[in-house]
Amino acid sequence: MKTKERIRGLVAFVCSVAAFIAIVCILNYIYVVNGEPWYDQWYRNLYHSYYEQDNIDCLVLGTSHVHFGIDPQILDELNGMNNFNMANPGQRYDDSYYLLREVDSSHDLKEVLLECSYQCLYEELVPNEDRSDYKYVDYIHDPANYSSPWMITYHMRPSVNRFKMLVTAADKEYALATIFPFVRYRENLFDMETIKYNIGLKRSPEYRNYNYDYTVPDSHGITTHISYPGKGYYYYDGAILEDDEKLVKQNADVTTDPIGEESLGYMRRIIEYCQAKGIKISLFSLPVYDVETVSCGDYDRFIAAMREFASEYGLEVYDFTLIKDETLPLPKDEMFWDHAHMNRAGCEFYTPLVWQTLHDPGSTASLFADSYAQILAEREPEIYGLWYRDVSYDDRPDPAGIFGGGWREYNVASSRPDMTYVIRKGPYEASGEEPGGVSGQTGGDLFEEVEQIAPGRFLLPAGEYGLIEVTGTCGDDIVSMKVKY
C-alpha cells in the first residue's frame, strides 16, 4: 500500500508540475510580445536563424547600431567565413559576454568584432529607494535595461549560459518577471484587444514562418522597405533621416558621468576570454548622426578612455565617427533612417570599411581624423538638430519626473560652439502646405520667439508639442532648420 501511495504521490507531483508548465506556456503565448510586435520578431528571427547555422567563424556583438550597421552577408563575401551578427537593441556587456560563451560552446569561433558603445558603458541616473533624489547606477542595473536579457533569453534554447544570463538579468525584486515572462505584461491581464491581437499575430503565416518583410510609407511619403535577410541583420531601405526628425532625448554626458565598472568589467571578461581561447578580437564603434554625438558631451573624452582601456590588452579601438566627410559617398544624414541607426546605404558603405580597417588599418588610416573636434572644426557651420533632457524647476536633471518640475531643457546641436541663434516655436500643423512638410506657414505667421537661457538652450513644458525653427549665425554664415518637438 505504501508503495502504491508513493507512486500515486509521485504521479500527482509530476502531473502538477506538467500542468504548471503548461499554464505558464499558455500565458506566455497569450501575453508575451516583447515590446512592439515587430520588435519581438527581431529577436525571434535572429535566434531562429542562429540555431540554423552549421558553424559560425566570426561573431559580431553590440547594440542596435551594429544590428543595423553590419551586414554579415557582405562580410561573408569579403572574408570567406560564416559571419553572424548577434547585436541586439540596448545589449548590455554582460549579455554580450554570455552570448559569446554560448556561441563558442558549439561553434569553432575564430574572430569576434565587439562594439564600444558609450550608451552601454556610462552610469545612469535612476531614482533612489524612496524616490527623493537620484543616484548613479551601472547601465546593467538600470531597470530600463532589464529588457535586453529578458528578450534575448526568451528566444534562446535552454543552456548554462542562458541560465547565467537570467541570474544577472535584473535585481532580486524583479525575480518573478525574470523567471515568468508573462508577469512583465500583467497590465494587459484583462485587455482583450491586446490578447486578441497577440494571438492573431502568433497564428499568422508570416510569424510562424519567420518572415519579416514590410513596405511602408513614412511621414514624408517615402516608401521604406524593412526586411530581415538573415544572420542577425535587419535593413531599412529607402528611409532617410529628415530634418524635422532630428530630435534626441539625451541623459548621458560623457564629460561628467562615470563609466560603469561592472559594464567595463564584462568588456574585460570578453577580451580576456577571447585572448585565452586564441580568438581574434577587434574593438570598434560605428557612427551615429551628429545630433546624438554632439549631445553626449565631450565625445573625444570617451574616445580617449576607450583607447587607454584597449591599450591594456594590446588592442586598438577604431571609431568610425572619426571618418572624414569627404570619404562619405552620400550626405551623412542620408545614410541613417533615424538619429542612431543606419539605413541600407549606410550599412553597405560601412561594413566593408570596418572589415578593411580592422584587418589592414594602414590602408584606411588617412580616412580618419585625429578627433571629433577636428571633424567639427573642418566643417562649414551647420545645425544638426535638437536634443533635450527632462529637468526640474531648479534645473536639476529629472529623467523620471520625481521632482515634478515638468520641464524639458532643449539644446541646439551644431558644428560651432560660437554660433548664435534665433529660436521660434509654432504649431506643427501650421508649418507646411504639403502633408508632413515643414516649409512655410499657412494662415499667417503663427510662430513666436522663444527666450534662451543660454545660447541655443531653452525651456519648454514637457507636454508641449509643435515645431521649433532655429536660425543660426556664425560670422557671415546663416543656417536654419525646423524640428518637430
DSSP state of 323: B
Enumerate the domain spans of the chain. 1-29, 32-242+258-372, 383-484
pLDDT at 39: 62
Report field, pTM of the whole predicted structure over 0.75: yes
pLDDT at 219: 60
pLDDT at 224: 79
Report yes or no: 102 and 377 within 8 Å, Cβ to Cβ.
no
Report CA-CA distances (Å) from 233 to 50, 116, 196, 213, 381.
11, 18, 30, 13, 35
**Which residue, among 219, 246, 241, 260, has the nearest Cα to 388 in the 3D structure?**
246
pLDDT at 55: 95
Cell representation of residue 189: 491581464
Tell me the residue ranges of DSSP E strands in 250-404: 280-285, 317-319, 383-391
Question: Residues 66-107: pLDDT tens digits?
Answer: 999 999 999 999 999 999 999 998 999 999 999 999 999 999
383-484, which class in CATH? mainly beta
pLDDT at 34: 55
Question: Residues 328-353: pLDDT tens digits?
Answer: 988 888 899 888 999 999 999 999 99
By DSSP bridging, strand 111-115 and strand 134-137 are unpaired
Please identify every stretch of the chain with a pLDDT value under 50, giving residue numbers as ranges: 430-443
Give CATH for domain 32-242+258-372: 3.40.50.1110
Report yes or no: 139 and 117 within 8 Å, Cβ to Cβ.
no
User: How far apart, in whole angstroms, are the C-alpha atoms of residue 75 and residue 73?
Assistant: 5
Q: For 287-326, give one letter per residue: b (16+ CB within 10 A) or e.
A: bbbbbbbbbbbebbbbbebbeebbeeeebebbbbbbbeee
Map grid coordinates 490578447 to a residue.
195
**Which residue, among 121, 134, 123, 118, has the nearest Cα to 399 in the 3D structure?**
134
